[in-house]
Homo-oligomer: A and B are copies of this chain.
Amino acid sequence: MYTTSEENYIKAVYHLQQSGKNVLTNDLAASLQTKPASVTDMLKKLEAKDLLLYQKYYGVRLTPEGKKLALSIIRRHRLWEFFLVEHLQFGWDEVHEIAEQLEHVKSDLLTDKLDEYMGLPKFDPHGDPIPDSKGRMETQQQICLLQLKPNQGAEICAVSDQSTDLLEMLRLKQLQIGTRLEVKQHFSFDNSLEIKIPNQPPFSISEQLAKHLFVKLK
């Protein structure tokens, strides 16, 4: 079994190595809010446990075992985020800290039962894919419309609130699953967005609406 600290390092390495490059000591220190010297210590320990390969001065890469562990931590994190938002009515911006604690509860049976309880969700409330019990996950990137970069083509693929008020609004604005769109501008003042749908003039939507809409990139 691994400690909470070891799990946090493995998770951080996983995320940082998505760029393709080796993961460097300083980047890990920044990401984990700790000092480079502490990172070096831990990297040696994790290499001894065969979770990663460590080349002095040249950074690290996860071994297959390390990657497997990372995916299981990410699975727990995202499942709990889903639970907090969809079942306990947390806002999707309030859940990260709590999920950071819950992800370290060690019980595969718990993880799998929670997964099943919620209907084997494929994406967490931020649109990130949830690995299944074998570590596989959908590659299709689903992100919240609020996070979509301007002029990036995308298509609505999920709505995170099923209230009649929301659905009524979507119907009137002709927004539905599959609708193609682009964000033209993001106004920081109120987080409202100016969006453009093909064959229609641009119009604006509120932060409250946008946060419930998820898109996949095209």
Contact = CB atoms under 8 A, between A and B. Distances in A.
B101 A107 contact: yes
A117 B83 CA distance: 11
Secondary structure dominating the interface of A: helix
A95 to B, nearest CB: 9
A102 interface: yes
Q: How many copies of the chain does the oligomer comprise? A: 2
A169 interface: no
Contact of A114 (B88, B109, B114): B88
A97 B107 CA distance: 9
A110 B87 contact: no
**Band of interface residues on A:** 10 to 19
A105 interface: yes
A113 B88 contact: yes
B88 A117 contact: yes
Contacts of A90: 109, 113
Given A88-B110, A94-B109, A101-B107, 15 more contacts: A84-B110, A87-B117, A88-B113, A88-B114, A88-B117, A89-B113, A90-B109, A90-B113, A97-B107, A98-B105, A98-B107, A98-B110, A101-B105, A102-B105, A105-B105
